[in-house]
Amino acid sequence: MEADDSTYRRATESLVEELRRRLGSRFTLEELADLYAASPDLGSDPAWLVDAAFWRYAREATDYAGGRHLSDSERVERARP
């Protein structure tokens, strides 16, 4: 039986919640990348599902800029609580 989109969304959200538990709500892309490199225990899920969860969570990083480099002033502004 084929899983539907809602099944994949729930599975991805579960992994995003695990990332949030490990990193918290304020993190940088570098911190997320370090976690990705050091997290073989997330390997029980299919690699594409883990990648999707990391991609979704990356958009919440303080220095995420949608593929462009943040200027120093933008980085400082985003780092403020």
Over residues 7-32, the pLDDT tens digits come to: 888 889 999 999 999 999 899 999 99
Over residues 39-50, the pLDDT tens digits come to: 877 767 788 888
Q: What's the 3-state SS for the chain?
A: CCCCHHHHHHHHHHHHHHHHHHHCCCCCHHHHHHHHHCCHHHHHCCHHHHHHHHHHHHCCCCCCCCCCCCCHHHHHHHHCC
Phi-psi sector, 65: left (phi>0), alpha (psi -120 to 50), beta: alpha
| Count of structural domains, the chain | 1
Q: Domain limits at 49?
A: 5-79
Q: pTM of the prediction?
A: 0.74
Q: Which two tokens stand for residue 72?
A: 């120093």
